[in-house]
Structure 1
Amino acid sequence: MTTPSSNTAPDSALPDDTRQPAPHRRLEGLTILAAEDCRVNQMVLEEMLSAEGAHVEMAENGREVVDRLRQCGADRFDLVLMDIQMPVMDGFEAARQLHALVPGLPIIGQSAYAMAEDRAKCLAAHMVDHITKPFDRDLLVLCILRHVRPGGPPLPVAATQQEPGSAVDPWGELASRYARNPAFVDQLLNVFLISNSGLPNQLRQALSRQDTRALAGLTHGLKGMAGSIAAHELQTLSQSAEQAAKLDAPELAQCIVELAARLEQTLEQIRHRITL
């Protein structure tokens, strides 16, 4: 009778090089302070950065950032991500105060604009770089590492191929973007739903008052959030409406009417997904 050889190793004892390698976490060991007043964008930043190994702390305005640095000291953070347009204290003023407190701390400005003048304003306020929203994870990571680990070896770029949304599944791109954490998609969409459920009426009311300043602020905030959930049509409509509000353009009313209707459709799509 033949018995199995005692030299046959179980699967769990196979050499390490036969196992699936752990994903490379490019921000391992970094502590980042992120200033962002929008909850949807906070969630996106925290998910992206923590998935890459960073420890992330959040602040909702520039004043909180300055106060945090004063309380915690210069050595607590490796880098600050600074939204430009925030209440209480904007990113430009916060960056100037941080530079006076901690001159060597890298500050990266972030905004929904990709214009050369925005980057120039960031640099003039002592920021070291500027990145646009919605965030591309690879570009965000590489931008951070360029300033905290300059001159390091070439970094592997994570696979971020994304499936576009469709009429059947408008959130296909979002699911692809967060494939490592599928549960995050519904969490993000739920916060978007809660944050914007009253916004269509707010837009229409501001339009009826001809309050272009309020419309510019509302559409600016929506533009960033729409990009964060890969709602590209909504993002484009928000951008057009924001520009029309800033210029008090003749097409403003039509832009707001279309935007409010499209936002209601998006909110309904989210409700349908979450209740399935």
Structure 2
Amino acid sequence: MRQILVNLVGNAIKFTHQGSILVDVGRETNSPEADPFRLHFLVRDTGIGIPLEKHQVIFEAFSQVDGSTTRQYGGTGLGLTITKRLIEMMGGKVWVESQLGEGSTFHFNLKLAPPQKTGSERNLRRTELESLHVLIVDDNETNRMILDEMLKNWRMVPTLADGGEAALMAMRWARDQGNSFPLVLLDGHMPGMDGFEVARRIKADPSLAGVTIMMLTSDRQAGDAARCRELGIKVYLVKPIGQSDLLDGILNALGTQILESASTVVPDKGIKAMRPMRLLLAEDNAVNAQLARILLRKWGHEVLLATNGREALDLLEAAGFKGFDAVLMDVQMPEMDGMEATAAIRARERTLGTHLPIIGVTAHAMKGDRERCLEGGMDGYVSKPIRPETLSSELARLVPGSARQETEESAAPNRVSTKTDAASAGALDRSALLDRVEGDLDLLGDIIELFKEDSVRQIVAIRDALDKKQADALRRAAHTLKGTCGNLGVSEAAASAQELEKLAAAGDFSRAHESLRTLEEQIQRAGRLLDDLKQECLR
């Protein structure tokens, strides 16, 4: 199913110069309740479109709309053929609706079995949001629709407005009816009256007092965080926004604690018991971020994610440098690295008289790294791959009142064999990986799938950078893949990615091609070993 969506979304991106791409999934309306789930997927774009006479031909091997398409966009035409075969193998069908010059919508359905068991959910206290009236303000129809569906899924009651004037009218009408909106989700950058001006007018109107505003934007601009702070807006999210992040943001904006304030989290043996904390994680590597985020949430902490130092600084600015217990700051990130972000945070704190603990995270683990982090204004330091007990110790050491007396010992988690045969020891360190996830088999499965997706993405980026002889892009992609592999105990591939990173820094493209071939073989081998481990976990 992942490959099907990758093919269809990849095509949509290739043929859409401007506009939008929407992926939607829902249950087939004519699917009998007793049957296994039949889901209906669609991928809609505003691209070049397909003439009616080509609607069936495009699913045939080596077929494109016409010769000029191949010349302009490249490709063999096999993607849709493979997609069609995959869908049919899974018992589904695929079709297209399109007009030349007006975009395309690819539909497919799949018959899937319902899950045998449901995983444990976080205690999000969603019932507190039921029947809550929310105003969604966004000039983009697709964005309004997505937010509308998310809120309805949580049994909230959304009202939609397509611009600032419509939003103010809706709020005044609701006020006059005695049913004001407690929460407004406001797009920051709209034509005409932008979200910041709407927020200013809301704040200036005494009859609209008490409304909570969340600012959402897909076009983050310098100064947005400061403007939010001036307007008293403490939650500022960058689109696209995942459901978990949106829900966390809503609960935070409304002052609802996700975790019960009186609870003490007692993690697995060897991990210090801690009170629930609110942490900011700055990490650009998707696999590393997911692993750290899930691990921290497992310990009972609320985690907000920033993908670079600039985003971390913006989130802190939007919150007025309040509400966070600590920051986990990756040292090496794009746009603004961890050292730059730390310097900016410390400069801002000097004017506020505050101090937020910052723990530096680095992939180097070299002599002098700890000293450099501390000299740069950080309070602590952990090296990748992160060991859970090391991270928990740093948090307990640096955050006042975080450690609690452990009153009970949690049951040992489910475990699988950690034995690694000599032939595969370098390709995958099973013991190290299981330690990273603390024996959590659900987390292990998620991380394995994320690794497989991200490693393919980074290999493609490396190959593209090599073809274009772009040393910086090659170095960044190799560095990212090195960190991903290291965190999962894929040590051979991590070493090869590190070698490729060095070759990129030296501009040695000829040897880099050879190194890439070795790296690809190691990634494929690691993928097979990870799949074997995952299957063993399921038994």
So what's the TM-score if we normalise by structure 2?
0.42
Q: Which has the larger radius of gyration?
A: 2
Match of 1:83 among 311, 327, 330: 330
Give the Cα–Cα distance (whole angstroms) in 1 for the partners of residues 327 and 519 of structure 2: 33
Match of 1:51 among 291, 295, 298: 298
**Is residue 359–residue 378 contact of structure 2 (8 Å, CA) maintained in 1?**
yes
Question: Could you say which residue in structure 1 is the equivalent of 2:355?
Answer: 104
* Cα pair distance change 1:244/1:268, threshold 3 Å: same
Give the Cα–Cα distance (whole angstroms) in 1 for the partners of residues 533 and 398 of structure 2: 40
Question: Could you say which residue in structure 1 is the equivalent of 2:430?
Answer: 172
Aligned-partner residue type, residue 132 of structure 1:
S
Deviations 1:1-28 (CA, angstroms, capped at 9, x unpaired): xxxxxxxxxxxxxxxxxxxx98576232
**What is the RMSD of the two structures over their aligned residues, measured on CA atoms?**
3.6
Moved over 6 A (4+): 150-162, 272-276
Partner secondary structure for residue 131 of structure 1: strand
Matches within 5 A, 1:92-171: 92-102=339-349, 103-149=354-400, 163-166=418-421, 167=424, 170=428
Question: Could you say which residue in structure 2 is the equivalent of 1:184?
Answer: 443
Aligned-partner residue type, residue 224 of structure 1:
G
**Is residue 342–residue 378 contact of structure 2 (8 Å, CA) maintained in 1?**
yes
Higher mean alpha-carbon deviation, 225-234 vs 197-206, is at: 197-206
Give the Cα–Cα distance (whole angstroms) in 2 for the partners of residues 195 and 42 of structure 1: 12
Aligned-partner residue type, residue 358 of structure 2:
I
* Cα pair distance change 1:205/1:189, threshold 3 Å: same
* Cα pair distance change 1:230/1:267, threshold 3 Å: same
Give the Cα–Cα distance (whole angstroms) in 2 for the partners of residues 196 and 114 of structure 1: 22
Aligned-pair CA distance for 1:68 = 1.4
Partner secondary structure for residue 230 of structure 1: coil
The answer to whether residue 278 in structure 2 is matched with residue 27 in structure 1 is no
Aligned-partner residue type, residue 134 of structure 1:
P
Q: Which has the higher contact order (CA 8 A, sep 6+)?
A: 1
Aligned-pair CA distance for 1:59 = 1.3
Question: Could you say which residue in structure 1 is the equivalent of 2:244?
Answer: none
Deviations 1:145-195 (CA, angstroms, capped at 9, x unpaired): 221149979989999999354449957332454355211111111111122
Partner secondary structure for residue 199 of structure 1: helix
Aligned-partner residue type, residue 40 of structure 1:
V
**Is residue 280–residue 328 contact of structure 2 (8 Å, CA) maintained in 1?**
yes
State the aligned residue count.
Answer: 256
Deviations 1:7-66 (CA, angstroms, capped at 9, x unpaired): xxxxxxxxxxxxxx9857623222211111122111111122223332222111112211
* Cα pair distance change 1:154/1:163, threshold 3 Å: farther
Partner secondary structure for residue 33 of structure 1: strand
Question: Could you say which residue in structure 2 is the equivalent of 1:231?
Answer: 490
Partner secondary structure for residue 323 of structure 2: coil
The answer to whether residue 298 in structure 2 is matched with residue 39 in structure 1 is no
Question: Could you say which residue in structure 2 is the equivalent of 1:6?
Answer: none
Higher mean alpha-carbon deviation, 128-137 vs 142-151, is at: 142-151
The answer to whether residue 480 in structure 2 is matched with residue 221 in structure 1 is yes
The answer to whether residue 505 in structure 2 is matched with residue 255 in structure 1 is no
Whichever structure has more strand as a proportion of its residues is: 2
**Is residue 27–residue 54 contact of structure 1 (8 Å, CA) maintained in 2?**
no
Give the Cα–Cα distance (whole angstroms) in 2 for the partners of residues 199 and 264 of structure 1: 13
Aligned-pair CA distance for 1:138 = 0.7
Aligned-pair CA distance for 1:72 = 1.6
Give the Cα–Cα distance (whole angstroms) in 2 for the partners of residues 54 and 84 of structure 1: 22
Question: Could you say which residue in structure 1 is the equivalent of 2:527?
Answer: 267
Give the Cα–Cα distance (whole angstroms) in 2 for the partners of residues 171 and 231 of structure 1: 6
**Is residue 203–residue 260 contact of structure 1 (8 Å, CA) maintained in 2?**
no
Aligned-partner residue type, residue 254 of structure 1:
E
* Cα pair distance change 1:77/1:221, threshold 3 Å: same
Partner secondary structure for residue 116 of structure 1: coil
Question: Could you say which residue in structure 1 is the equivalent of 2:455?
Answer: 196
Give the Cα–Cα distance (whole angstroms) in 2 for the partners of residues 256 and 209 of structure 1: 15
> Structure 1: which 5+ residue stretches go unaligned?
1-20
**Is residue 274–residue 403 contact of structure 2 (8 Å, CA) maintained in 1?**
no
Give the Cα–Cα distance (whole angstroms) in 2 for the partners of residues 251 and 215 of structure 1: 13
Partner secondary structure for residue 418 of structure 2: coil
Give the Cα–Cα distance (whole angstroms) in 2 for the partners of residues 114 and 177 of structure 1: 17
Aligned-pair CA distance for 1:226 = 0.6
Give the Cα–Cα distance (whole angstroms) in 1 for the partners of residues 267 and 401 of structure 2: 25
Deviations 1:57-84 (CA, angstroms, capped at 9, x unpaired): 2111112211211222333111101111
Whichever structure has more helix as a proportion of its residues is: 1
Aligned-pair CA distance for 1:127 = 1.0
**Is residue 329–residue 359 contact of structure 2 (8 Å, CA) maintained in 1?**
yes
Task: Give percent identity, aligned residues only.
Answer: 27
**Is residue 200–residue 264 contact of structure 1 (8 Å, CA) maintained in 2?**
no
Give the Cα–Cα distance (whole angstroms) in 2 for the partners of residues 133 and 96 of structure 1: 22
Give the Cα–Cα distance (whole angstroms) in 2 for the partners of residues 154 and 235 of structure 1: 38
